[in-house]
Amino acid sequence: MSNKKPRNPLDEPNSYLNYLNSDSYLLNSRYLDRKVIADKGAASLTLLLGEPALESKLSSLLADRFNQNTNVYDSAIDSYYNSTHTGGSMLHHNLDGAHTFQGALETLRLHYPDENDFNLIVKSFEHLSKDLTTPSGINPFLSPDDFESAKHFLTDNLDISSSSVNDLLNINAVELGSLIIATLSVIYNLEKKQMDQMGEYFSRLSIVSFISGNPALMLLSFILMGQSFIQLIRGGEMMKFADGIASGTLSTAAFFIATASLSGPLFPVLILGLASGFGANWLYRKGKSLFADDLDDTFKEMFPAYRSYLKII
């Protein structure tokens, strides 16, 4: 039997350099680079679309382009509001009863009883899609009574302002776009076992959804919260989750504070806001790398088993 030692490629001259130049390394590094770029790009787009000034501007542009009554079906759905002005320009989608899935269809059935339901359903969706482009948005699921009940509950019990509740109970096209981008990013980039990444996504989406009044994005953040809790029960590290929350909170807060504080043309303000967000994240990571060991030693002296306590949660 031969006692010859198996050949180790890394023992060969320039083996590491050869690996760095190999197709395997290049493919892996390009894949990782693409994931990092996609992750940062999606995070930036989510922040930008959640910035109130940009969201309002984009919504107004979309409304000017698409929110127009172009046929008799559009006029029929808007007829009650045009005659009564119930709810005013900002809330008639919620209060006139004709801008929900059921309400729009019933209105068209009343005006065009001889037409088949399929055509009326299509026309209802067309009109509601146009209204989705408005800054105020729509809520096609809540009837006027349901909307009023939900609004009173949130304002009376959670002390949220009336205007914020109106925003939270409606969704528009820009907010829907933000949801799609965030959802694709979660599906493509998020590793469920990476608790720091879970925490960062959760904190960022929670803050953006609240500031922008995006109910769909808020629902996604709740789903992430539930998923995070499941991973923690299965043994995920609480410290890493908290680290991600801190990172996401600091970078997101820095973005919104910067955009709210700065004045001037919108585009430069947004660029500076993104720079502030990335800068805050870099400073946090840098500070953590400098002081993490010292803090760990301090906690070990004060609470010798603190790491095991955190893993139990």
The count of domains in the chain is 2
- Residue corresponding to tokens 């006029």: 75
Q: Are residues 84 and 222 in the same domain?
A: no
Retrieve residue 37's tokens. 């770029």
Show pLDDT as tens, one digit a residue, over the chain (313 residues). 455 555 544 444 444 445 444 444 444 555 456 777 778 888 999 999 999 999 999 999 999 999 999 999 999 999 989 998 988 888 999 999 999 999 999 999 999 999 999 999 999 999 999 999 999 999 999 999 999 999 999 999 988 889 889 999 999 999 999 999 999 988 887 776 688 889 999 999 999 999 999 999 999 999 999 999 998 888 878 888 988 999 999 999 999 999 999 999 999 999 999 999 999 999 988 887 776 666 666 656 666 655 555 554 4
Q: Nearest to residue 212, comparing CAs of 256, 155, 243?
A: 256
Three-class SS state of 138: strand
Residue ranges making up the domain that contains 203 = 38-52+172-312
Q: Are residues 186 and 227 in the same domain?
A: yes
Model-wide pTM > 0.75 = yes
> Rounded to an integer, what distance in angstroms lies between the CA atom of residue 134 and that of residue 132?
6
Q: Are residues 105 and 191 in the same domain?
A: no
Q: Are residues 73 and 188 in the same domain?
A: no
Residues 6+ apart with CB under 8 A from 249: 203, 204, 207
Q: Are residues 44 and 79 in the same domain?
A: no
Q: Are residues 78 and 45 in the same domain?
A: no
Residues 2, 8, 14, 15, CA torsion sign? positive
Is 155 contained in some domain?
no
Q: Nearest to residue 94, comparing CAs of 103, 107, 105, 83?
A: 103
Q: Are residues 197 and 83 in the same domain?
A: no
> What is the residue type of 229?
F
Q: Are residues 97 and 42 in the same domain?
A: no
Is 230 contained in some domain?
yes
Q: Are residues 83 and 228 in the same domain?
A: no
CA 105 to each of CA 76, 126, 130: distance values in angstroms, whole numbers, following the listed order: 11, 11, 15
Q: Are residues 47 and 109 in the same domain?
A: no
Three-class SS state of 154: helix
Q: Are residues 127 and 230 in the same domain?
A: no
- Residue corresponding to tokens 């979309």: 62
